[in-house]
Structure 1
Amino acid sequence: MTGVPLLLVAVVSTALAAVVVVRLWSRGGRWRLAARAAGLVALEVTGVLTIALGANRAEDFYPSWQALGGDTGATAVAATRPAGHLDEVLTGARSGVTWEPPAARAWHLAAAPTLMVPTGYDEQADRAFPVVLALVAGGQPAATRSLAGLTPDAVTVVVSPTRATTAAAMTTLAGQLDRDARVTGRGWAVVADPPAARVAEQLCRLAPDRFATLVVVSGTSRDAAVRAAVSRLPAPLTAPLRFPS
């Protein structure tokens, strides 16, 4: 549709339509009004078509008839989501792995965090998962075991804060986790045992988009708190579609 021959045909058609209109205009007869109207319509149509073809040739809006019909020949494909540095290790550890990111020293935890991924994490390489951050007061191994089946569509991080742990230092956890696992950038849930509630509240205030939900464990039912937090999580995100350039 951007070729010169088609544009020349349109130009010639416009010129011919103009000649016909001029010749018919002065003629009389019962059909003179209809002939004039038909001639003007033909002149307008060919004129507009010529202008449109000229603009299309200059800007290349529709390079072919197929493109005019919506078929550009490009197929949308899913963009590749970068793998986490620990993806291979995580997929083989159903009960979680000890997570030792470089920034962990500054968090002053009672033990190294435990990182768990949902079942099928390795089979969904195009997805990023929301996160449940569990701040537990002691008994981290037991807490990890109880949490394992409660977060089927989320990456779970279990940490044990101490009195020296600060929310300001813990804000670096998000960047460390982004590097090591396929996680979403916002909408995480924080579940905190009562002794860790202060740090959890401050963390949510410092980064409200990232740590969007806070549930403090009431009584002894951590499982109920986790279920409440999970119910507020967004769904895992698939990689965006893109068109080949």
Structure 2
Amino acid sequence: MSLTGVPLLAAAVCALLVAVVATGYGWRRTGRERFLIRPAGVLLTEALALLVVGLAVNASEGFYPSWAALAPHHEGTTAGQTVPGRLDPLLGQRAGADDGAAVTITWQPDGWQQWHLAAPPVVVVPAGYLRHPGWRYPAIVVEDQAGAGQPAAPDAVLVCLRTAGARDAGILATRLPRALAADLRVTAHSWALVTPAGQAALDRAVLLADPARYRAVALLATDRRPAGPAMPTGTDTTVVRAARGAATTAALRWAGQRIPAPLAAPAALAPYQKSAGPRPGAAPTGGGHGTGQPRR
């Protein structure tokens, strides 16, 4: 049952109505049990009323597009770590002797069959990815665009998806980022999304679920109709209207200019060494009295 679907909201409304009727029926009881039934009925009715309001607001605004979005989000590694992704050895094999070239692979993370895709995603790592094992790269996610399997930007990981059937905002907001962070060295924020303008409402829910993840969105429109609802405040958004192939190229170029540079490995700090004696020219400390100050 979807978190933003009508069935869940209808079930909550039915439960609220049952609680109201049961509370009214129990309110007329005159025995000692009324001291338990009345407060319990009121509390249950209030809780269900808040649940109905919360579900209605969430269905309208898309704050939590899926059940997975309710779980705390933790990256596979903590800030400052430079452990290579699990696919780095495979990328090295594909690159061979030319470790400075871009590498394209078919990506099959665990559970991708439940992502409502027509085929496994295609991932392209940029030139130089293997030469900098301590770097983390931003990502550009492209939906339903044929011929997009080329490097999108000099310093970005490109992920190409072909959707099939009903789409779930939790895939882009939660499942894909977690899987990509485990398999490749990507950053945890400031990605870009290239998507058809007709899916803008669902993509808005993705941005609301993880505002720091996708900071740039390119909406591809092949006609003059409005591109859809406005994206959340703080999101850099553009609408590209052109022929299909030209629009994809222009959108990727635009997205590549909005994402930040790769995050390099932090420099090692020199260990602190305590001086064995006073610094040259330093004033004496401890036990003495300042010059010109009288003794007491």
Tell me which interval the TM-score lies in, with the shorter structure as reference length.
0.5 to 0.7
Query: Does structure 2 conserve the Cα–Cα contact (< 8 Å) formed by 1:130 and 1:234?
Result: yes
- Which range is displaced more, 184-193 or 85-94? 85-94
Which letter does structure 2 place at the counterpart of 1:177? Answer: L
Corresponding residue for residue 214 of structure 2:
211
Which letter does structure 1 place at the counterpart of 2:250? Answer: A
Corresponding residue for residue 71 of structure 1:
none
CA distance in 2, matches of 1:99, 1:196: 23
3-state secondary structure, aligned to 2:258: coil
Report % sequence identity: 32
Q: CA deviation at 1:98?
A: 0.8
Pairing of 1:180-195 with structure 2 (within 5 A): 180-195=183-198
Deviation per CA, 1:11-33, whole angstroms, max 9, x where unpaired? Answer: xxxxxxxxxxxxxxxxxxxxxxx
**What stretches of structure 1 of length at least 5 have no aligned partner?**
1-78
Pairing of 1:1-245 with structure 2 (within 5 A): 81-91=82-92, 92=94, 94=102, 96-137=104-145, 139=146, 142-144=147-149, 148-170=150-172, 171-217=174-220, 218-219=241-242, 220=244, 221-243=247-269
Inter-CA distance 102–115: structure 2 relative to 1 (3 Å threshold): same
Inter-CA distance 195–97: structure 2 relative to 1 (3 Å threshold): farther
Query: Does structure 1 conserve the Cα–Cα contact (< 8 Å) formed by 2:103 and 2:127?
Result: no
Q: CA deviation at 1:80?
A: 6.0
Query: Does structure 2 conserve the Cα–Cα contact (< 8 Å) formed by 1:126 and 1:239?
Result: yes
Equivalent residue pairs, number: 161
Query: Does structure 1 conserve the Cα–Cα contact (< 8 Å) formed by 2:125 and 2:151?
Result: no
Q: CA deviation at 1:196?
A: 4.0
Query: Does structure 2 conserve the Cα–Cα contact (< 8 Å) formed by 1:90 and 1:116?
Result: no
Query: Does structure 2 conserve the Cα–Cα contact (< 8 Å) formed by 1:85 and 1:179?
Result: yes
Report which of the two has the higher share of helix. Answer: 1
Which letter does structure 1 place at the counterpart of 2:204? Answer: E
Bigger RCO (CA 8 Å, 6+ sep): 1
Q: CA deviation at 1:88?
A: 2.0
Deviation per CA, 1:112-171, whole angstroms, max 9, x where unpaired? Answer: 10011000111011110010011125x3xx221xxx143211011001122322112332
CA distance in 1, matches of 2:259, 2:207: 15
Query: Does structure 2 conserve the Cα–Cα contact (< 8 Å) formed by 1:131 and 1:189?
Result: yes
Which has the greater radius of gyration?
A: 1
CA distance in 1, matches of 2:257, 2:129: 19
CA distance in 1, matches of 2:132, 2:116: 33
- Report the TM-score, using the length of structure 1 for normalisation: 0.60
3-state secondary structure, aligned to 2:111: helix
Query: Does structure 1 conserve the Cα–Cα contact (< 8 Å) formed by 2:125 and 2:156?
Result: yes
Inter-CA distance 199–149: structure 2 relative to 1 (3 Å threshold): same
Which letter does structure 1 place at the counterpart of 2:263? Answer: L
Query: Does structure 2 conserve the Cα–Cα contact (< 8 Å) formed by 1:201 and 1:214?
Result: no
Q: CA deviation at 1:208?
A: 1.1
Query: Does structure 2 conserve the Cα–Cα contact (< 8 Å) formed by 1:135 and 1:160?
Result: yes
3-state secondary structure, aligned to 2:158: strand
Query: What CA RMSD, in Å, does the superposition of the two structures yield over aligned residues?
Result: 2.0
